[in-house]
């Protein structure tokens, strides 16, 4: 058996060395790198775009091109995350935590180099794990059913305790809100329409792309507009030494890189456990396992870049595990890949592990080679890319904002995507300013739907016996330990319950406490609507709602009743530094009126962009918005304005209109000129 596996691996490698196959693999890598750069697009659009080209290819070439593209999206998505604080894909959210602060202090080259090196090693670790797993793939997967998947999801959501930093109760409230939002749409068990507000847009639930871009991208762009300076400020950028330092950082933290790469591959094998969750879990693992992380993570610690980047590049290999073994897609991109199996007459399952073993190992080699190519290309240009951090904000912001709008519109290609983008942008900026952790909200949103689905299947099929399965008990116990650890440490640091009792005084309220009221009111309102649904549709929302409301009330009480003691200790300098699991912005050097004025101006640009889209369409809006923003914000030279407007408009038109064929939002002028593709009327 070992000889046959080695023979199949060698045959697959020799087949992949064919010049045409290597060329197609390289083409896939280039497209993947481009898609990772554009916020919100991701590998799913690339899979859909490349799929028709695989019809006339042999399976070796088809899988090489598609997996070459999918494997490197997680490499280039680091660039907008580090440089702008904008996640190129959902898998780059955690990279922002330390990557963007590094760029702001002039260490962009170091952050990018560390990220690319970690991505390379993580991708190779994932490919190696896939190769070693193939002989035992089928018997292992036979023991994983819906109860185990439910336990894995529960274990994942317990990471909310880690991602909440020094505010565990606020993190639980944010996660509960995320779970409630994940239940919007048609209930899969009863068909009940939950909180759809009478619009078809919400029947399939909230898309995650505008949510991620709104929570993480728009707040960072707003801060850039308010600060009105380059990303790196007045810092000096030494890209060459920074790149070498970043490479040495990864070597010095090699075991962290390998562990997180293995973690990404393992979690990637769980259907539905995508990069939006895995990168946060890897970040939380590093936070718990790295010495001194509590004091430096979130402030520009390179290890906070290495951990998520090594994990998100190994997910593709992990997602192939259930896809190959059972035809169960490990991710949305793998669902498209399954169609390639059917096109070429391949059947996922035993045949892929026996008769077509060489095809399977072609996938392994494709992922490994793609990661090497992708990291190499990024290394070649990272020195130039790092210099973006010293460009004026008037040159950066309009271009990035254009791609954010396009990326958000990719979710369901509906105007609702843009409304959701703005709504979550306001929510994200508010949470950031009030120091509410945003990662738990995303974690709750992604895992909430999985938990509800797997719970229904497990209870329906096994009753309560699913709790007695060995793997389930182990995973649930591990989840309890993960959740209880930070809570117990918080109680210990505050003198347990009698210590907290001594700190309680008369309640002191601040304007920021209104956010508690808003969250409490929103969840209570959602629960009042859910109370009228059938039992199957309301049991999940009401259970999550009551838990969230209880924790929200406790957190509010703790905040207001102990505020007097905390403020006194803070003045005396006796409070220890607390870990805040999110990026922060200090406006202390700006008057409050200036901050509000600039924030309102930024909101005005957002609404102006959308209003122009509604009238003349997105593509004509691009040059208009660039010209208006660059002139009124920075009085830039008109040659520079026209040049940037022309280049960006042509790029958007060629890539998104001609190549991807995106159906743009309907416009008013489109009713008069229906023959123009960028002014659609239907």
Residue 531 has pLDDT above 80, yes or no: yes
What pLDDT digit, counting tens, does each position of 385-421 carry? 666 656 778 887 888 888 888 878 876 778 888 899 9
Q: Is 327 left (phi over 0), alpha (psi -120 to 50) or beta?
A: left
Q: What angle do CA 194, 200, 202 make, to 5 degrees?
A: 45
Please answer whether residues 30 and 76 qualify as being in contact, where contact means their C-beta atoms are separated by less than 8 angstroms.
no
Q: What is the pLDDT of residue 574?
A: 43
Please answer whether residues 160 and 408 qualify as being in contact, where contact means their C-beta atoms are separated by less than 8 angstroms.
no
**What does the pLDDT average to over 505-513?**
77
What pLDDT digit, counting tens, does each position of 483-503 carry? 777 667 766 766 666 666 666
Those residues with Cβ within 8 angstroms of residue 39's Cβ, 6 or more apart along the chain or in another chain: 80, 86, 87, 88, 89, 213, 217, 400, 403, 404, 407
Please answer whether residues 652 and 645 qualify as being in contact, where contact means their C-beta atoms are separated by less than 8 angstroms.
no
Distance separating alpha carbons of residues 404 and 37, to the nearest angstrom: 11
Residue 267 has pLDDT above 70, yes or no: yes
Name the residue with higher pLDDT: 658 or 305.
Answer: 305
pLDDT confidence tier of residue 527, bands split at 50, 70 and 90: very high
Distance separating alpha carbons of residues 107 and 98, to the nearest angstrom: 11
In this structure, the number of other CB atoms found within 10 A of the CB of residue 444 comes to: 27
Q: What is the pLDDT of residue 456?
A: 80
**Structure-token match 């990035």, residue found:** 400
What pLDDT digit, counting tens, does each position of 12-54 carry? 888 888 888 888 888 888 888 877 776 555 566 667 667 667 7
Please answer whether residues 257 and 291 qualify as being in contact, where contact means their C-beta atoms are separated by less than 8 angstroms.
no
Tally of helices (H runs) and strands (E runs) in the chain: 33, 2
Q: What is the pLDDT of residue 625?
A: 92
Residue 335 has pLDDT above 80, yes or no: no
Element of type H or E holding 186: strand 185-186
- Longest CA span, the chain: 76
pLDDT confidence tier of residue 628, bands split at 50, 70 and 90: very high
What pLDDT digit, counting tens, does each position of 640-657 carry? 999 999 999 998 888 777
Q: What is the pLDDT of residue 550?
A: 92
Name the residue with higher pLDDT: 533 or 503.
Answer: 533
Name the residue with higher pLDDT: 433 or 501.
Answer: 433
Q: What is the pLDDT of residue 623?
A: 93
**What does the pLDDT average to over 630-641?**
88
Lowest mean pLDDT among 186-200, 235-249, 383-397, 562-576: 562-576
Q: What is the pLDDT of residue 576?
A: 46
Name the residue with higher pLDDT: 29 or 566.
Answer: 29
Please answer whether residues 273 and 148 qualify as being in contact, where contact means their C-beta atoms are separated by less than 8 angstroms.
no
Residue 363 has pLDDT above 90, yes or no: no
Residue 572 has pLDDT above 50, yes or no: no
Distance of CA 405 to the CA centre of its chain: 16
Q: What is the pLDDT of residue 577?
A: 46
Averaged pLDDT score across all residues of the chain: 79
Dihedrals φ, ψ of 20, to 5°?
-65, -40
Dihedrals φ, ψ of 193, to 5°?
-85, 115
Residue 524 has pLDDT above 90, yes or no: yes
In this structure, the number of other CB atoms found within 10 A of the CB of residue 494 comes to: 15
DSSP 217: I
Q: What percent of the chain has pLDDT over 70?
A: 77
Q: Which range scores top for mean pLDDT: 213-217, 343-347, 373-377, 427-431? A: 427-431
Q: What is the pLDDT of residue 682?
A: 38
**Structure-token match 């210099």, residue found:** 387
Q: CA torsion sign, 502 to 506 to 511 to 514? A: positive
**What does the pLDDT average to over 194-205?**
87
- How far from 368 is each of 112, 125, 316, 334, 664, CA to CA, in Å? 20, 9, 11, 17, 37
Domain residue ranges in the chain: 2-493, 598-671
Q: What percent of the chain has pLDDT over 90?
A: 10
Q: Are strands 185-186 and 193-194 parallel, antiparallel or unpaired?
A: antiparallel
pLDDT confidence tier of residue 549, bands split at 50, 70 and 90: very high
Dihedrals φ, ψ of 433, to 5°?
-70, -35
Residue 425 has pLDDT above 50, yes or no: yes
Q: What is the pLDDT of residue 605?
A: 92
Residue 106 has pLDDT above 50, yes or no: yes
Those residues with Cβ within 8 angstroms of residue 264's Cβ, 6 or more apart along the chain or in another chain: 122, 126, 278, 279, 282, 310, 311, 312, 313, 314, 315, 318
Residue 575 has pLDDT above 50, yes or no: no
pLDDT confidence tier of residue 1, bands split at 50, 70 and 90: very low
Q: What is the pLDDT of residue 573?
A: 44
DSSP 389: G
Q: Is 0.85 topped by the overall pTM?
A: no
What pLDDT digit, counting tens, does each position of 444-454 carry? 887 787 788 78
Name the residue with higher pLDDT: 331 or 167.
Answer: 167
Q: Which range scores top for mean pLDDT: 118-127, 237-246, 571-580? A: 118-127
Distance separating alpha carbons of residues 264 and 217, to the nearest angstrom: 24
In this structure, the number of other CB atoms found within 10 A of the CB of residue 136 comes to: 10
| 510-518: long-range pairs with CB below 8 Å, 24+ | 510/563, 512/434, 513/556, 513/559, 513/560, 515/430, 515/431, 515/434, 515/436, 516/552, 516/555, 516/556, 516/559
Q: What is the pLDDT of residue 273?
A: 62
**Structure-token match 């942008």, residue found:** 425
**What does the pLDDT average to over 370-388?**
77
Distance separating alpha carbons of residues 558 and 550, to the nearest angstrom: 12
**What does the pLDDT average to over 240-258?**
85
Distance separating alpha carbons of residues 287 and 585, to the nearest angstrom: 21
């Amino acid at each position: 058996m070992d000889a046959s596996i080695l023979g199949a691996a060698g045959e697959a490698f020799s087949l992949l060395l064919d010049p045409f196959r290597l060329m197609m693999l390289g083409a896939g890598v280039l497209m993947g790198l481009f898609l990772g750069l554009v916020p919100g697009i991701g590998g799913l659009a690339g899979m859909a775009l490349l799929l028709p080209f695989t019809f006339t290819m042999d399976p070796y070439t088809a899988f090489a091109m598609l997996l070459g593209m999918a494997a490197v999206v997680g490499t280039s998505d680091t660039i907008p995350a580090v440089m702008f604080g904008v996640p190129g894909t959902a898998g780059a959210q955690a990279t922002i935590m330390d990557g963007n602060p590094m760029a702001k202090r002039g260490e962009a080259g170091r952050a990018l180099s560390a990220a690319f090196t970690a991505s390379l090693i993580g991708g190779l670790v994932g490919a190696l794990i896939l190769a070693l797993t193939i002989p035992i793939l089928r018997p292992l997967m036979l023991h994983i059913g819906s109860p185990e998947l439910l336990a894995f999801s529960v274990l994942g959501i317990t990471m909310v305790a880690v991602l909440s930093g020094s505010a565990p109760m606020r993190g639980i409230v944010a996660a509960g809100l995320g779970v409630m939002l994940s239940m919007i749409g048609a209930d899969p068990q009863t068909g009940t329409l939950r909180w759809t507000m009478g619009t078809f847009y919400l029947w399939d639930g909230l898309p995650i792309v505008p949510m991620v871009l709104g929570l993480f991208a728009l707040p960072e762009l707003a801060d850039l507009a308010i600060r009105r300076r380059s990303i790196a400020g007045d810092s000096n950028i030494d890209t060459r030494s920074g790149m070498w330092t970043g490479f040495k950082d990864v070597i010095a933290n090699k075991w962290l890189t390998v562990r997180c790469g293995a973690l990404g591959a393992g979690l990637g094998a769980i259907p539905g456990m995508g990069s939006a969750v895995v990168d946060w879990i890897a970040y939380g693992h590093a936070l718990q396992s790295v010495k001194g992380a509590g004091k430096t993570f979130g402030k520009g610690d390179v290890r906070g870049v290495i951990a998520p980047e090594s994990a998100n590049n190994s997910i593709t290999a992990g997602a192939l595990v259930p896809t190959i073994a059972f035809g169960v897609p490990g991710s949305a991109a793998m669902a498209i890949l399954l169609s390639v199996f059917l096109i070429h007459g391949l059947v996922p399952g035993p045949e892929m592990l026996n008769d077509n073993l060489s095809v399977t190992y072609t996938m392994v080699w494709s992922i490994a080679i793609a990661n090497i190519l992708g990291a190499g290309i990024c290394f070649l240009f990272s020195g130039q890319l790092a210099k973006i951090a010293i460009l004026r904000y008037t040159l950066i912001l309009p271009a990035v904002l254009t791609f954010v709008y396009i990326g958000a519109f990719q979710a369901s290609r509906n105007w609702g995507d843009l409304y959701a983008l703005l709504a979550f942008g306001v929510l994200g900026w508010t949470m950031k300013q009030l120091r509410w952790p945003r990662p738990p909200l995303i974690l709750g949103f992604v895992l909430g739907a999985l938990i509800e689905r797997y719970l229904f299947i497990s209870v329906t099929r096994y009753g309560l016996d699913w709790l007695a399965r060995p793997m389930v008990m182990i995973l649930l116990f591990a989840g309890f330990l993960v959740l209880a650890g930070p809570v117990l440490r918080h109680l210990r640091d505050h003198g347990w319950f009698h210590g907290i009792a001594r700190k309680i005084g008369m309640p002191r309220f601040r304007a920021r406490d209104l956010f508690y009221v808003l969250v409490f009111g929103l969840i209570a309102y959602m629960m009042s609507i859910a109370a009228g649904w059938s039992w199957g549709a309301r049991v999940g929302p009401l259970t999550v709602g009551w838990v969230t409301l209880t924790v929200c009330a406790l957190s509010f009480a703790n905040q207001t009743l102990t505020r007097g003691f905390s403020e006194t200790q803070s003045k005396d300098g006796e409070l220890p530094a607390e870990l805040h699991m999110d990026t922060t912005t200090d406006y202390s050097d700006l008057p409050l009126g200036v901050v509000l004025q600039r924030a309102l101006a930024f909101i005005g640009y957002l609404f102006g962009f959308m209003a122009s889209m509604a009238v003349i369409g997105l593509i004509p809006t691009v040059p208009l918005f660039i010209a208006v923003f660059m002139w009124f914000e920075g009085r830039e030279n008109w040659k520079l304005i026209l040049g940037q407007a022309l280049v960006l408009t042509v790029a958007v038109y060629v890539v998104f209109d001609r190549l991807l064929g995106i159906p743009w939002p309907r416009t008013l002028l489109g009713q008069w000129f229906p023959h123009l593709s960028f002014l659609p009327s239907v």
